[in-house]
């Protein structure tokens, strides 16, 4: 095995010893991610369960298309698939998704390593990245559809060139716009845009359906997208494969040479930009200049006079923590995303139910108003999960203050309830107007009670299963998969089950009312839900305080964000 790798690296003009050393470093860094936070293994498995079937379905469908579509559509499909993968790797860094991590070359440049070895280690290191294996079935489908008989060596070389384009273009974007992508303002904007896009999936789907209904299929006959896509790097490799399958080897080699020259240009540009970054010159971001003007802190108003009239009933400690929590929700984009989606989701649901035309008739009865309770349980579970971990580096300071721990949880619960209550009120009001029934008010009260009960469960869970949250991270992170394996499994499966069990009595009351059509039970159940939720929150806060006092040091250590 060692002899084969030696011959392989020597054939490419690379130093085998250096490549093995760089590979060992990359393996250790990959393993360290999971050893420091074993919960990421759970997140990786959950992601695989979601994405792998989608990727396998896309690979199977594209392979069938390559083999069975009439000419010239197999080549058009091949060009579209390869260009789409290239665009995903190109756009993902701009949206703070790191598809291929690799080694930090800005640190390796201090060592006497040739640039050729460093670039090769970047490409080889992507074999340890999860997104690489998501793209692998797509490439296998290309081999199945186009690599029959003796053409498979040429197809493999073309796919390697296309993959190198994906990786190096992604690295070029990260290097060229590194300062901009790491800025908080750009991160905030990208999260807001993704939130709007994610919440608008239904309307995008409706627009696509309308477009296809109004599209004349005869217009598609003359479309040849590969005519334009072939000038892009992955489109050139698709054209090379298509020409090779037709037996036109001179054209195939010319297109492959064109793609290879583009790859060399991308690699050279990325390397020059990387060297420039290391020498101290940034990109797309002006240097930070220190201001000589003294900064004067604005005077703070303390006491009852400085409070909002609606908050004067709060004890002073809870009031200060309540205001701090509200500011933190808006300051950190990872939490702001939840607020935006919480406001938009009810609006989209109402529009989908009452205002969408061309859909099958759906009987909207007053009982629809009770669905707001299910929305409240899910929203509050996500919003209040890992309460203590969202403090970040400020948690030791917070726990160092002589504040009763119950007040910390009450202040956090109050701020979360306020933020969730606004979209819940909007949802309940729209359902009340849409159904013209008092069930909307009952559903809103039941939702508030379920939200309180859910926060009681999450208060205890935040003490038992805390996990770190890197609030300054510029990449997306899943809060369910932080910490150790036990924490990740508990937050992903155990906590939702506990929330369901705690809210089961409320669901049973409204289930009985719906099954036997007992309308008065809906009103009584709404009041019971409010009282039940208040009691569940009070009990949860008491248990959280009791469990927290002997293990505060462990919680601080568990929520400490290492290199994530």
Dump pLDDT digits (tens) for 307-338: 555 666 677 778 888 888 888 877 776 666 66
> Considering the chain, what is the average pLDDT of its residues?
77
Which tokens belong to 364? 């909207």
Which of 134-138, 204-208, 489-493 has the weakest average pLDDT?
A: 204-208
4 falls within a domain: no
Instruction: Note every long-range contact of 65-71, with CB atoms under 8 Å and residues 24 or more positions apart, other chains counting.
Output: 65/145, 66/141, 66/142, 66/144, 66/145, 66/146, 67/144, 67/145
325 falls within a domain: yes
**In this prediction, what percent of the chain has a pLDDT beyond 70?**
70
Q: What is the pLDDT of residue 247?
A: 86
Which tokens belong to 336? 């702001």
> What is the domain count for the chain?
2
Q: Is the pLDDT of residue 258 over 90?
A: yes
Q: What is the pLDDT of residue 29?
A: 74
Q: Which residues 6+ apart lie within 8 Å of 412 measured at CB?
A: 321, 325, 384, 387
301 falls within a domain: no
Asked if residue 185 and residue 334 are part of one domain, the reply reads no
Q: Phi/psi at 437 (nearest 5 deg)?
A: -145, 150
Q: Is the pLDDT of residue 509 over 70?
A: yes
Asked if residue 404 and residue 255 are part of one domain, the reply reads no
Q: What is the pLDDT of residue 190?
A: 61
Please choose, from the candidates 169, 179, 158, the residue with its C-alpha nearest in 3D space to the C-alpha of residue 235. 158
How does pLDDT run across 40-79, given as a tens digit for each residue? 777 777 778 888 888 999 999 999 999 888 888 889 999 9
Q: Is the pLDDT of residue 551 over 80?
A: yes
Distance CA 240, CA 253 (A): 7
Asked if residue 86 and residue 144 are part of one domain, the reply reads yes
Asked if residue 354 and residue 272 are part of one domain, the reply reads no
Identify whether the C-beta of residue 105 lies closer than 8 Å to the C-beta of residue 274.
Answer: yes
Name the DSSP letter for residue 35: H
Asked if residue 359 and residue 429 are part of one domain, the reply reads yes
Q: What is the pLDDT of residue 237?
A: 94
463 falls within a domain: yes
Identify whether the C-beta of residue 409 lies closer than 8 Å to the C-beta of residue 321.
Answer: no
- Place 179 in a pLDDT band, splitting at 50, 70 and 90: low
299 falls within a domain: no
Residues 489-506: what's their mean pLDDT?
91
Asked if residue 182 and residue 49 are part of one domain, the reply reads yes
Residues 283-295: what's their mean pLDDT?
45
Distance CA 214, CA 549 (A): 64
Asked if residue 249 and residue 327 are part of one domain, the reply reads no
Instruction: State which residues form the domain around 153.
Output: 15-200+224-278
**In this prediction, what percent of the chain has a pLDDT beyond 90?**
24
Asked if residue 375 and residue 261 are part of one domain, the reply reads no
Asked if residue 187 and residue 108 are part of one domain, the reply reads yes
Distance CA 225, CA 79 (A): 8
Half-sphere exposure of 34 (CA within 13 A, CB side): 13
Asked if residue 319 and residue 273 are part of one domain, the reply reads no
Asked if residue 489 and residue 391 are part of one domain, the reply reads yes
- Place 357 in a pLDDT band, splitting at 50, 70 and 90: very low
Burial class (CB in 10 A: 0-12, 13-18, 19+), 364: middle
512 falls within a domain: yes
474 falls within a domain: yes
Residues 389-408: what's their mean pLDDT?
86
50 falls within a domain: yes
Asked if residue 69 and residue 121 are part of one domain, the reply reads yes
The DSSP string of 503-519 is THHHHHHHHHHHHTT-H
The residue ranking higher by pLDDT, 181 or 543, is 543
Q: What is the pLDDT of residue 103?
A: 58
């Amino acid at each position: 095995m060692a002899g084969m790798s030696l011959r392989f690296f020597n054939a490419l003009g690379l130093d085998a010893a250096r490549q093995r050393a760089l590979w060992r470093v990359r393996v250790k860094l990959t393993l360290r991610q999971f050893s420091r936070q074993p919960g990421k293994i759970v997140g990786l498995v959950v992601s695989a369960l979601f994405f792998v079937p989608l990727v396998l379905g896309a690979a199977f469908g594209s392979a069938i298309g390559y083999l069975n579509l009439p000419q010239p559509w197999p080549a058009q499909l091949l060009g579209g698939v390869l260009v789409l993968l290239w665009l995903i790797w190109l756009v993902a860094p701009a949206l703070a998704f790191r598809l291929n991590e690799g080694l930090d070359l800005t640190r390796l440049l201090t060592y006497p390593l040739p640039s050729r070895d460093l670039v090769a280690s970047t490409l080889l290191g992507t074999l340890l990245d999860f997104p690489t294996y998501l793209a692998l079935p797509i490439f296998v489908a290309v081999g199945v559809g186009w690599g029959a008989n003796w053409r498979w060596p040429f197809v493999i070389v073309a796919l390697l060139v296309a993959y190198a384009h994906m990786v190096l273009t992604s690295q070029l974007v990260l290097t060229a716009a590194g300062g901009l992508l790491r800025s908080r303002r750009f991160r905030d904007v990208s999260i807001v845009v993704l939130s709007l896009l994610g919440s608008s999936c239904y309307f995008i789907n409706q627009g696509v359906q309308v477009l296809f209904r109004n599209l004349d299929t005869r217009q598609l006959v003359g479309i040849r997208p590969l005519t334009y896509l072939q000038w892009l790097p992955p489109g050139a490799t698709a054209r090379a494969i298509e020409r090779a399958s037709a037996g036109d080897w001179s054209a195939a080699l010319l297109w492959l040479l064109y793609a290879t020259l583009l790859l060399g240009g991308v690699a050279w540009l990325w390397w020059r930009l990387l060297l420039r970054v290391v020498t101290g010159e940034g990109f797309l971001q002006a240097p930070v200049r220190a201001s000589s003007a003294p900064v004067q802190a604005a005077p703070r108003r303390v006491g009852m006079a400085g409070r909002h009239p609606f908050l004067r009933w709060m004890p002073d400690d809870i009031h200060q923590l309540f205001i701090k929590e509200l500011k933190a929700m808006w300051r950190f984009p990872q939490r702001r995303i939840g607020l935006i989606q919480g406001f938009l989701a009810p609006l989209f649901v109402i529009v989908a139910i009452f205002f969408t035309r061309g859909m099958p008739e759906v009987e909207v009865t007053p009982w629809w108003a009770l669905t707001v309770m299910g929305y409240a349980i899910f929203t509050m579970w996500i919003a209040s999960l890992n309460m203590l971990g969202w403090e970040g580096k400020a948690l030791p300071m917070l726990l160092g203050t002589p504040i009763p721990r119950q007040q910390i949880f009450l202040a956090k619960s109050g701020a979360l309830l306020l933020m969730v209550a606004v979209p819940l009120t909007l949802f309940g009001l729209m359902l009340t107007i849409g159904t013209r029934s008092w069930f909307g008010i009952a559903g809103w009260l039941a939702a508030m009670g379920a939200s309180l009960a859910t926060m009681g469960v999450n208060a205890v869970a935040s003490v038992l299963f805390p996990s770190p949250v890197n609030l300054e991270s510029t990449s997306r992170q899943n809060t369910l998969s932080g910490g150790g394996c036990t924490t990740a499994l508990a937050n992903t499966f155990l906590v939702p089950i506990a929330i369901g069990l705690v809210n089961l009595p409320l669901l049973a009351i409204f289930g009985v009312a719906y099954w036997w059509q007992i309308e008065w039970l809906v009103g009584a159940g709404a009041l019971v839900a409010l009282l039940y939720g208040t009691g569940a929150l009070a009990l949860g806060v008491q248990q959280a305080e009791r469990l927290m006092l002997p293990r505060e040091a462990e919680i601080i250590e568990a929520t400490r964000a290492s290199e994530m």
